[in-house]
C-alpha cells in the first residue's frame, strides 16, 4: 500500500516520528488553549480598563478650559486609542449592534451620553471612531485601532527548548527499545555454521532477556546438531572403509573378466561417494585452516599448471596483481571443484581474476559447455543435486562438488554465483574481499 507520506525505513525513525508528532500535537493544543485563555483574560481586563480610562479622559476634557485641552490630548492617548479634537475622518455609520468589544466598552464607559455615535473608517484594519460632543459643544473623536495581543519573546524560545528536550528523550527511549532488536538481527546475520556464533548479552527487560536466551539456545542446538551429524558421518565413513577395503582385496583375487571390472567400478564409486560426503560434512562443521596472505596470480598459475601437467585443457586468461588474505587450501578446493565440474561438461576451461576499485577480487572459471537452465542455477548448490542430463555417476558425479564449493566460499567470506554466458557456456564467479 502506497502512501503520500514517505515513511522512514528504520523502525527507530518511524517510532520517533510517531511519538514526536503526537507530543508536538499535544504541546500545540496545550499552547493554543493557554494562549486563547490568556487572550480572553487580557481582552476582558483591557476592556474594563478602557471603560474607566475613556470616561475619565472625557471628564477631564470636559472640565478643562478650551485652550488647555490640546495639551492634554497626548497625555490621554493609549496604545489602542487616541483622542482628537474635531469631527475626525469621514466614514460609514457603524450600528451599535455591530460594535466590536472595544466599542461596547466605550459605550458602557460613557453611558451612551454626549451624543455618542460610531463610524467605520476606510482603513482596512479593524479600525473605527467614536464621535461625541463635550458639554460646551466641542466635538471630540476617539480613534480606536485595536492591536493583537503581543507574544513575549521568550515564549517561542521556551517552546522550542521544550520540543528539543522532548525529541531527545523520545529518540533515546526509542533507541533503547530497538537496540536489542538490532543486536538480535546482527547476531542472526552473523550466524555461521563454520564458526562460533555471537552470544547475546542476557541483560535488560525481561522480554529482551527471554529473546536473547532463546536465540543463544537455538545457536547451541544448531551447533550440537552439526557436531552430531559430523560424528555420525565420521563413524559411517570409518565403518565403511574396512568392508570396502576387504571387498577390494577379494576383487583382486577374482579372475579377470567383465564381472570383476563391474565390481571394481562399483567399489571405487562407493569409496568416492564416502570421501565426498565426509568432505561436505567437514565444510559444514567448520574450517580449522589458518588464514594467510597470498599472491593471487601466482596461486592461480600454480593451479593451472597442475591441470596442464596431466594434459587437462585449462588456461590462465587474466590476472589481477592482487594480494589477498584467505585460506589457501579452502580456496584451492573451491577452484578445483569448479574447474573439475567445467571439465566434465565443457572440455576447455579458462581461469582469470580481476580486482575492483574497492579492493575486492573476482575469480572467474569460464567454459564453453551447454550451460545450466536459469531455474536451476541456484538449485545446483544443493547437496546431491544433479542435473537431468547428468544422472550417470560417471559424468554427473556425486552432486556434492558445487555444494562443497559453496560451503567453503561462505567459510572464507566470499560469494559464489553462476550465470550463463552469451553465446554459450557457463561462468562461475567467486568474489572475495580484498
Q: What average pLDDT does the segment 415-430 reach? A: 88
**Percent of the chain having pLDDT more than 90?**
3
Domains of the chain: 11-144 (3.30.450), 191-286 (1.10.287.130), 289-432 (3.30.565.10)
Burial of 430 (0-12, 13-18, 19+ CB in 10 A): buried
Q: What average pLDDT does the segment 332-349 reach? A: 86
pLDDT tens digits, residue range 394-414? 455 566 778 888 888 888 888
Q: What average pLDDT does the segment 364-370 reach? A: 87
Q: How many residues does the chain have?
A: 434
**Distance between CA atoms of 231 and 380, rounded to whole angstroms?**
26
pLDDT tens digits, residue range 21-79? 887 888 778 877 877 887 777 777 877 888 888 888 888 888 888 888 888 888 888 88
Q: What average pLDDT does the segment 124-145 reach? A: 83
**Distance between CA atoms of 308 and 12, rounded to whole angstroms?**
58
What pLDDT was estimated at residue 393? 47
Alpha-carbon torsion (137, 138, 144, 145), positive or negative: positive
Least confident of 58-67, 138-147, 152-161, 349-358: 152-161
| Closest to 132 in 3D by CA, of 146, 145, 122, 144 | 144
What pLDDT was estimated at residue 192? 65
Check whether 281 has a pLDDT greater than 80: no
Q: Do β-strands 314-316 and 349-355 pair in parallel, antiparallel, or remain unpaired?
A: parallel
The residue that leads in pLDDT, 6 or 379, is 379
Mean pLDDT of the chain: 80
What pLDDT was estimated at residue 227? 73
pTM for the structure as a whole: 0.49
**Percent of the chain having pLDDT more than 70?**
86
| Upper half-sphere CA count for residue 359 (Cβ side, 13 Å) | 5
Cβ(410)–Cβ(341) below 8 Å = no
Per-residue pLDDT band for 5 (boundaries 50, 70, 90) equals low
Amino acid at each position: 500500500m502506497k502512501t503520500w507520506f514517505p515513511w522512514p525505513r528504520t523502525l527507530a525513525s518511524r517510532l520517533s516520528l510517531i511519538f514526536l508528532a503526537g507530543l508536538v500535537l499535544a504541546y500545540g493544543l496545550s499552547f493554543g488553549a493557554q494562549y486563547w485563555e490568556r487572550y480572553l483574560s487580557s481582552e476582558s481586563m483591557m476592556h474594563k480598563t478602557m471603560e474607566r480610562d475613556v470616561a475619565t479622559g472625557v471628564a477631564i476634557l470636559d472640565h478643562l478650559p478650551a485652550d488647555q485641552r490640546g495639551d492634554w490630548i497626548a497625555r490621554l492617548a493609549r496604545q489602542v486609542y487616541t483622542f482628537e479634537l474635531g469631527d475626525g475622518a469621514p466614514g460609514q455609520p457603524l450600528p451599535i449592534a455591530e460594535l466590536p468589544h472595544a466599542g461596547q466598552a466605550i459605550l458602557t464607559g460613557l453611558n451612551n451620553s454626549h451624543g455618542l455615535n460610531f463610524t467605520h473608517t476606510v482603513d482596512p484594519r479593524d479600525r473605527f471612531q467614536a464621535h461625541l460632543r463635550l458639554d460646551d459643544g466641542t466635538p471630540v473623536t476617539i480613534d480606536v485601532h485595536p492591536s493583537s495581543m503581543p507574544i513575549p519573546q521568550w515564549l517561542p524560545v521556551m517552546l522550542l527548548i521544550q520540543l528539543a528536550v522532548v525529541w531527545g528523550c523520545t529518540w533515546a527511549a526509542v533507541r533503547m527499545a530497538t537496540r536489542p532488536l538490532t543486536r538480535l538481527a546482527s547476531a542472526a546475520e552473523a550466524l555461521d555454521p563454520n564458526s562460533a556464533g555471537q552470544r547475546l548479552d542476557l541483560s535488560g527487560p525481561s522480554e529482551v532477556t527471554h529473546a536473547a536466551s532463546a536465540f543463544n539456545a537455538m545457536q547451541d542446538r544448531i551447533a550440537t546438531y552439526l557436531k552430531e551429524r559430523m560424528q555420525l558421518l565420521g563413524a559411517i565413513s570409518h565403518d565403511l572403509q574396512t568392508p570396502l577395503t576387504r571387498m577390494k582385496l577379494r576383487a583382486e583375487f577374482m579372475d579377470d573378466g567383465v564381472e570383476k571390472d563391474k565390481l571394481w567400478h562399483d567399489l571405487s564409486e562407493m569409496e568416492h561417494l564416502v570421501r565426498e560426503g565426509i568432505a561436505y560434512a567437514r565444510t559444514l562443521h567448520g574450517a580449522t585452516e589458518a588464514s594467510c596472505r597470498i599472491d593471487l596470480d601466482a596461486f592461480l598459475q600454480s593451479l593451472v599448471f597442475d591441470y596442464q601437467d596431466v594434459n587437462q585443457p585449462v588456461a590462465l586468461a587474466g590476472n589481477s596483481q592482487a594480494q589477498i588474505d584467505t585460506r589457501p587450501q579452502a580456496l584451492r578446493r573451491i577452484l578445483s571443484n569448479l574447474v573439475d565440474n567445467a571439465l566434465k561438461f565443457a572440455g576447455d576451461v579458462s581461469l582469470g581474476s580481476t580486482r575492483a576499485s574497492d579492493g575486492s577480487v573476482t575469480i572467474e572459471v569460464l567454459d564453453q559447455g551447454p550451460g545450466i537452465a536459469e531455474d536451476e542455477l541456484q538449485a545446483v548448490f544443493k547437496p546431491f543435486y544433479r542435473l537431468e542430463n547428468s544422472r550417470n555417476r560417471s559424468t554427473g558425479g556425486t552432486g556434492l562438488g558445487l555444494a562443497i564449493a559453496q560451503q567453503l566460499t561462505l567459510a572464507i567470506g566470499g560469494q559464489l554465483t553462476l550465470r550463463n554466458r552469451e553465446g554459450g557456456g557457463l561462468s562461475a564467479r567467486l568474489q572475495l574481499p580484498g
